[in-house]
Structure 1
């Protein structure tokens, strides 16, 4: 089955945009990833703003990425000729550049709105485009058309071409103070495009193995979801793309989830970029709260401040009428006990890779705070990594990640800080947590691990137990767990995160979980089974190689926010681990990153 067409992802590592297969930019938050969007037709076909360049006659279109970059090329084929549009966000400025080569006239429509479509734009037509402004605020957008063009009758329509045309859209948060920037002469388009191309191509990392194109595209997505100022990593580029069209499971993911971002930082480290990994770790350690839970929320804004609450934008119809559209995320109020361990695991891997004792010592205040808090509070019920609403429990995955926190603390305290007494105390707590987990498993009278003390079914998070070194993949209890997961959660090599929760049935497979399962089989030395799973997960990608959070297993259509950090990070981690196994760097059953020197 062919990969479905969806949206092309554009980024300049400050914000992002989505361009549809037929050349319409339908998503563009300004000035940051988590800002209000001036183009949001993605979430409302009538009220949301958009920016289109298309033939005015019937056409067929196709999209590709331009030569391992985040530059999207849309090609239009008509009976009278061909047109090509290259779209990119320039590095260092909140703007959209659209470079056009066309044999036929094209129609350009630029219709920004403000505050997610709540306010239409005031406008002033200029000789080379238009100035659009927020009627109740200082925001402004300047459209510049350089090349053959003529104004059409409708206020926001132009005809451009034939020939070469450069179209630039500049954003200003405050027009009065930024007018000089808006009025600057355009930089040479060839220089801007080449600079953007080189920026993305230099961000790739060496990889020689199967699925190299998928590896490179996933790396470019991770780079595109990185906030360049501080190395923060966003969970996704969008808000409110639904898990199931027409239902209510749609959330705002334009934040830095400690968990999701830690997975991506691990992928960057394994792929050979310890600098990017360190930048993220440093960002996260600098958000640690010394009073109370070190991470008071499971996610943060890209500037490191907390996001509070969730708002429903009831004037928007939602993606394919899936309401409500949400901004912010109520999970900010949840207790999630795994996130300290998610980050500390990456801290350990970074130190094992670089032997950067100075960094550990510099941030010992934060590491000590994280581990000490978990040591006192590890048995606290939480919402789990699945962020269940009003369904707290002692979830096994969270317990294991608390064990990871204490085990990492023990290793770093002993080997870097030489605090033997503290190291031993943390090791003792880690042993207590492990004993509680095993005692609970025995008391359940089940032959396998279960999701939680009140939730005796399996979930996909149990697949991570051998990935963090808590249990060997061939341990009898985990073997039964794997068998149960294969029977209950796996269909046609797609993996569901669980079957149901207190909001209803989980309708679609979870793209991350399929890669977890492949990694388990890599550890078991079953390369054939792992390869089958990897190949099937890659079917979840769009025609441009992008993953959403979920996938329709029959049509392969993406569901949920897009593109999603989780599966792109998991793809890289899985392929790197596969490469190490095939090169005999690790042997079957051996954990590739040892939790302790003796494990």
Structure 2
């Protein structure tokens, strides 16, 4: 039952507690327990040639094709498997999520339904959960209608109305009626399995379609925006409100580059962009939960110091190690657990704490609006932003071996002080408003003096340096400069000349800790699209946006990076940055709803 080596043609399912990635042939190849940053019970995605370990695979006898699609406006996946004799089944994959007994039911559980649709299909199932990052197979025990898996400190139980003996022994069997599989908590499954799972299927579908119904989508590219929004929501760990950068670890940014990082954590920067994009669609529930996460981070921040990233539970220490028993994506290790970036100094994080939190003082829709105590707590973050605005850091690209005073970090510090001034005015504290506006003005003056080059006629990526990076395009988004300002126009022209590669954009082109960048960074290409539109080149922007949409997987998603010559996707998947780009650019470039009324 061996399959070809991994690709990023993957379909995420989840319920904001656990998630999984399904390949094009209905193989569950990635899924961590008990949450996104846990042990990958399903790890075949990173198993190299060991494709029969850490997988839940389904296959028909004589299978000739598999086609997948999501149910409309849900993360519920339907894959049709067809055999050479014309027999076929549908495989329905989802994680249950719906209101139950006054709270959200989102267990650590994966549900699969096998539904015969033609002929006399014979099915073979391979279920081989692993433990400790591919080190050993889960220990098992078997009951009459269930099979139990011991996975480290956790136990999962497969409850089913299928023949458990066939499954246990890996034998093929005929599918003559719907079969139901619930891999979840190790506790008795009360009631009729088929009836209960069908009820979960209906309730989960209704939940997601109702959630999507509340989104304020642009008129154009709605399907792309909705799929991006659903997937961004799956990247939130609802228990705490944290938003992870991606659902995977160690998908390399380029082949054999060793730029393999663990992205299953909450980067303050990435989460800021995510809630900003979803807020533009009116997904206030994600913002509210994330604001609660931020308040806990701020409360625990020693002296106002903010790390670049935290675990989904808010843990600060994310020691980096290597999973020796996993060969890596297509055998391209290492597979990393944890991320040493938590030790880095990245001063843009202060602005990215302040900017989303500010909405809590203005938005009347929120259940809990921010108050003066929140403002005073936020001022401690602003104090550090002020102190560090002209100090060296690793920057948003997380250089591991050098530090500079990065312009993007300084602009974020300016934004933190500027927005604190706005909040102070809002809550009737004119003396604090004046205080923070004065600090913002001083930071602005410093940036304009130190980052602008009269010789080169553009802003540089760092104080006193002429090199460029794509983050300078965010100066307009952050309201530091207007798009029609000649300084931005000339900076954009310089960035386009230095970093644009055809229809794609590098984040920078200078050597870093691992050499010369080999792939385009997808969010930077979306920043290019935004800048083209703001500079009056909207037709070109729309053309590039359509090109980026064409690079999406069949599931409608993007990873972090893209080979600008072959078009192949690389980097962790699905990448929140890239999905943010889809939402933001669609909103910017879409026609108005008034054009069809």
Contact 2:318 2:340 in 1 (8 A): yes
Q: Does 1:260 find its partner at 2:260?
A: no
Among 77, 80, 96, the alignment partner of 1:75 is: 80
Alignment of 1:64-463 (within 5 A): 64-80=69-85, 81-91=87-97, 92-102=106-116, 103=119, 104-134=121-151, 137-147=152-162, 151=166, 156-172=169-185, 179-181=186-188, 186=193, 188-204=196-212, 205-289=215-299, 292=302, 294-349=304-359, 351-354=361-364, 358-416=369-427, 418-442=428-452, 445-453=455-463, 455-463=465-473
Q: Give the equivalent residue in structure 2 for 1:471.
A: 481
- Structure-1 separation of matches of 2:361 and 2:594: 24
Q: Does 1:46 find its partner at 2:84?
A: no
The TM-score normalised by the length of structure 1 is 0.89
Q: Give the equivalent residue in structure 2 for 1:12.
A: 15
- Structure-2 separation of matches of 1:515 and 1:139: 41
Aligned partner of residue 172 in structure 2, secondary structure: strand
C-alpha distance 312-69 of structure 1, shift in aligned 2 (>3 A): same
Among 508, 531, 545, the alignment partner of 2:542 is: 531
C-alpha distance 456-562 of structure 1, shift in aligned 2 (>3 A): same
Deviates more, 1:449-458 or 1:402-411: 449-458
C-alpha distance 582-144 of structure 1, shift in aligned 2 (>3 A): closer
- Structure-2 separation of matches of 1:128 and 1:275: 39
Q: State the shift of 1:55 in Å.
A: 1.4
- 1:442-469, Cα deviation, whole Å (9 max, x unpaired): 4562211111136521111011011111
Q: State the shift of 1:210 in Å.
A: 1.1
Contact 2:236 2:286 in 1 (8 A): no
Q: Give the equivalent residue in structure 2 for 1:490.
A: 500
Q: Does 1:57 find its partner at 2:71?
A: no
- Structure-2 separation of matches of 1:279 and 1:544: 26
Contact 1:99 1:164 in 2 (8 A): no
Q: State the shift of 1:520 in Å.
A: 2.2
C-alpha distance 529-238 of structure 1, shift in aligned 2 (>3 A): same
User: Unmatched 5+ residue regions in structure 2?
Assistant: 1-6, 98-105
Aligned partner of residue 73 in structure 2, secondary structure: coil
Deviates more, 1:79-88 or 1:163-172: 163-172
Q: Does 1:546 find its partner at 2:557?
A: yes
Contact 2:322 2:336 in 1 (8 A): yes
Aligned partner of residue 337 in structure 2, secondary structure: strand
The TM-score normalised by the length of structure 2 is 0.90
Contact 1:145 1:165 in 2 (8 A): no
C-alpha distance 95-475 of structure 1, shift in aligned 2 (>3 A): same
Aligned partner of residue 480 in structure 2, secondary structure: coil
Contact 1:459 1:485 in 2 (8 A): yes
C-alpha distance 520-231 of structure 1, shift in aligned 2 (>3 A): same
Deviates more, 1:462-471 or 1:187-196: 187-196
Q: State the shift of 1:293 in Å.
A: 5.2
Q: State the shift of 1:268 in Å.
A: 1.7
Aligned partner of residue 108 in structure 1, secondary structure: strand
- Structure-2 separation of matches of 1:245 and 1:156: 38
Q: State the shift of 1:387 in Å.
A: 0.8
Contact 2:361 2:426 in 1 (8 A): no
C-alpha distance 537-294 of structure 1, shift in aligned 2 (>3 A): farther
Contact 1:132 1:140 in 2 (8 A): yes
Instruction: Tell me the number of residue pairs that the alignment of Structure 1 and Structure 2 aligns.
Output: 570
Q: State the shift of 1:583 in Å.
A: 7.0
- Structure-2 separation of matches of 1:100 and 1:22: 14
Contact 2:452 2:458 in 1 (8 A): no
Contact 1:68 1:217 in 2 (8 A): yes
Q: Give the equivalent residue in structure 2 for 1:574.
A: 585
- Structure-1 separation of matches of 2:39 and 2:439: 45
- Structure-2 separation of matches of 1:432 and 1:53: 62
- 1:86-108, Cα deviation, whole Å (9 max, x unpaired): 11112221111111123410100
- Structure-2 separation of matches of 1:262 and 1:580: 26
Q: State the shift of 1:143 in Å.
A: 2.2
Q: State the shift of 1:185 in Å.
A: 5.6
- 1:40-72, Cα deviation, whole Å (9 max, x unpaired): 011114284111011132421121111221111
C-alpha distance 367-96 of structure 1, shift in aligned 2 (>3 A): same
Aligned partner of residue 520 in structure 2, secondary structure: coil
Q: Give the equivalent residue in structure 1 for 2:100.
A: none
C-alpha distance 198-332 of structure 1, shift in aligned 2 (>3 A): same
- Structure-1 separation of matches of 2:443 and 2:330: 46
Q: State the shift of 1:151 in Å.
A: 1.5
- Structure-1 separation of matches of 2:504 and 2:273: 20
